[in-house]
Structure 1
Amino acid sequence: MTILAIGLTLVGAVCFAVASVLQHHAVTTTEHPDEARRVGDVGRNDEPAGRHQLSGRHLLAIVRRRRWLQGAGLAAIGSVVNGVALLLAPLRVVQPVGVLAVPLAVLLSAAKARRRPSGGVLIGAALTVGGVAVFVVASAGSATTHTPSATATLTAGLIVMALVVLLGFAGLARHSRGSLRCLALASAVAAAYGLLSALIRVAAQAAADTGILSPLVLGCAAGALAAFAIGAWLVQHAYHAGAPEIVIACLTVVDPIVAVVLGAVLLGEGSTTPVGAWVLLGAAAVTAAIGVLILAHHHPDAVAARAERDALMIAA
């Protein structure tokens, strides 16, 4: 079952990578209904168009695009496949496998732009993939799980949602710009999706013990829907603020970290994990996070944005 779960997660990773590129293209090329300008033009206050915040009308125009709808369909397929994988194997094994979406997104974006990824981008992607790969291997011997109480589940859910709100506000703040804005928003999305995965796993455990219509299962279902809706909304802002590779990299680092922590706290998946293994898991997570920061710094979009800001400062 674990091998099947990993295989399903690989399929999900491909779906998420392609979906990210399609939706990023739709988000960054859709003309704002209220402004006669497109991404790449310089607008008011010398701010590059496409880096302002998404309005409701703009988002509505985006979701009508064929590419966005295609990406949404692939993301939905990836979510279903990943959900099935979560029913078959522990969070600690399933979630980190999605890191393969990072190199896929890098290659797809490079192919679309007809340019080779820079050395910094490749190093960032390699560190991210390597860090999470070690995370998967170290997590493969996960311990047995148990069904948590409704109180514990609610408390953990509220803590994670508070983190999502904090990161979301940081990313949507008016002073937030460039890669930092994208990182904050993508991290908020990843935390929401990590909670979503944990709630799916808790619901599966509770359904087996107490029945599918138990309050805990229904509560997890409601929480999972809320986490999905919030994540789906914030991820459009993340695509609007930065490159798809950066968004995917954040998702594949923060998401499994949140899921693993919740799995250990709520489901006891780390109850027999030795201290040395936890140290290895921590080192792997830090390595992956460094990879994301390098990827965000060296991505061509970030380099172009810095060059544009420097040119505006010189002109001023």
Structure 2
Amino acid sequence: MSDLSEQIALDPTSFIGIPLALIGAVFLSLGAQFQHRGVVKVEARTVDTLGKGLNGKQLALLLARPSWVIGTLMLGLAIVFQLGSLYFAPIIVVQPLGAIALVITSVINSRVNHVKLNRKSIIAIVMCVGGVFLFVGVAAFTAVDKPVTDRQLITILIILAVVLAVAGVTFALFRRRIRAVFYVVMAGVLYGFVVTLAKVVIGRLQQQEFEWLTFTCVIGLLLAMALGAYFVQNAYATGPPDLVIAGLTVVDPLVAVVIGIVVLGEASQAPLWANLVFVVAGAIAVWGVFMLARNHPQTRL
């Protein structure tokens, strides 16, 4: 047992983050289903905006839909559990565990809407979840949690500023041609930064450091969360909830994980074989998202 403990890079308390992340995934799945129902009902009763993005009136009507409000509250609980998991463990261990929400959402959506998933969609879901859990299985025994330096934080904020600019300009120029995959991928990317910045802020608070740079993190986090949330609602209007969850539980953690590995050095102690597994597992999961987008019986392409 002593030899095994020496091979585990994480402190034993870090494993507390795993069940918290799994509980958050359940709330994420239920919240997505309820929000999707609210968005579909609002869109059905207003002018069709497919490819144009939800307008201000539709966003206001969402607040009057009980299903959307319940879904939002559940997503709020998912965020609470997610932040709790990040308090205990590195990003690359707990964040990918949200993939379990994809399985739950797919089953619920299939039952609620009486839509039978085809063979290719099931294979895509297996690829998403399998790739993510392979990643987590290796990361749990090779990841390390490190304090974030000012230089690393500035790097993350600069990259986020570029991503926000690109997302905003792309949406403004091509909003009439945009479909679900764009919204799903961009929301996943933005939420990946939200998770990363949340982890940074938690770390700074643990270190009792809350200066202008940490405050800038909070502003960036809120901007990324707001734009990501808008893209998610548009994704619900143009695609099924399990496609949206596939993007959020694969693209989101992959972005956060890449930042965690490249910028924060959470995989600095991982051997070469582990890094190769990370690349292969990530590729499998991402390919699964695009397969699901192409083959899901409810996707509007």
**TM-score, with normalisation over the residues of structure 1?**
0.84
Name 1:224's counterpart in structure 2. Answer: 221
Q: Which of residues 166, 181, 184 is equivalent to 1:183?
A: 181
Q: Which residue identity is paired with 1:208?
A: Q
1:39-90 Cα deviation digits (max 9, x unpaired): xxxxxxxxxx655421111111123211100000000000011001100000
Using the TM superposition, give the Cα deviation of residue 162 of structure 1 relative to its aligned residue in structure 2, in angstroms: 2.3
Cα distance in 2 for residues equivalent to 1:183 and 1:164: 17
Unmatched segments (≥5 aa) in structure 2 = 1-12
Using the TM superposition, give the Cα deviation of residue 144 of structure 1 relative to its aligned residue in structure 2, in angstroms: 3.1
Name 1:46's counterpart in structure 2. Answer: none
* Contact kept? 1:50, 1:241, Cα under 8 Å: yes
Moved more, 83-92 or 291-300: 291-300
Q: Which residue identity is paired with 2:112?
A: K
Using the TM superposition, give the Cα deviation of residue 7 of structure 1 relative to its aligned residue in structure 2, in angstroms: 0.5
Q: Which of residues 20, 39, 46 is equivalent to 1:27?
A: 39
Name 2:278's counterpart in structure 1. Answer: 281
* Contact kept? 2:24, 2:77, Cα under 8 Å: yes
Q: Which of residues 234, 237, 256 is equivalent to 1:237?
A: 234
Using the TM superposition, give the Cα deviation of residue 147 of structure 1 relative to its aligned residue in structure 2, in angstroms: 2.5
1:117-145 Cα deviation digits (max 9, x unpaired): 21111111111000101111121124433
* Contact kept? 1:92, 1:139, Cα under 8 Å: yes
Name 2:264's counterpart in structure 1. Answer: 267
Q: Which of residues 230, 240, 245 is equivalent to 1:248?
A: 245
Q: Secondary structure at the match of 2:258?
A: helix
Name 1:311's counterpart in structure 2. Answer: none
Q: Which residue identity is paired with 2:214?
A: V
1:277-307 Cα deviation digits (max 9, x unpaired): 11111111110111111111111123xx46x
Q: How many residues align?
A: 288
Cα distance in 2 for residues equivalent to 1:207 and 1:84: 14
Cα distance in 2 for residues equivalent to 1:188 and 1:232: 10
Q: Which of residues 202, 205, 220 is equivalent to 2:203?
A: 205
Using the TM superposition, give the Cα deviation of residue 233 of structure 1 relative to its aligned residue in structure 2, in angstroms: 1.9
1:138-171 Cα deviation digits (max 9, x unpaired): 2112443332333431222231342354345545
Residues 138-149 of structure 1 mapped to structure 2, 5 A cutoff? 138-149=138-149
Moved more, 230-239 or 123-132: 230-239
Q: Which residue identity is paired with 1:190?
A: G
Cα distance in 2 for residues equivalent to 1:255 and 1:236: 16
Moved more, 156-165 or 18-27: 156-165
1:100-128 Cα deviation digits (max 9, x unpaired): 01111110110101232211111111110
Unmatched segments (≥5 aa) in structure 1 = 39-48, 307-316
Instruction: Decide whether aligned partners of structure 1 residues 50 and 26 sit closer, same or farther in structure 2, where only a CA change above 3 A counts.
Output: farther
1:229-264 Cα deviation digits (max 9, x unpaired): 222222111111211111110111111111112112
**TM-score, with normalisation over the residues of structure 2?**
0.88
* Contact kept? 2:164, 2:224, Cα under 8 Å: no
Cα distance in 2 for residues equivalent to 1:184 and 1:31: 19
Q: Secondary structure at the match of 2:298?
A: helix
Moved more, 287-296 or 151-160: 151-160
Q: Secondary structure at the match of 2:267?
A: coil
**Percent identity over the alignment?**
30
Cα distance in 1 for residues equivalent to 2:77 and 2:111: 23
Cα distance in 1 for residues equivalent to 2:262 and 2:237: 34
* Contact kept? 1:51, 1:240, Cα under 8 Å: no
Q: Which residue identity is paired with 2:73?
A: G
Instruction: Decide whether aligned partners of structure 1 residues 170 and 246 sit closer, same or farther in structure 2, where only a CA change above 3 A counts.
Output: farther
* Contact kept? 1:99, 1:253, Cα under 8 Å: yes
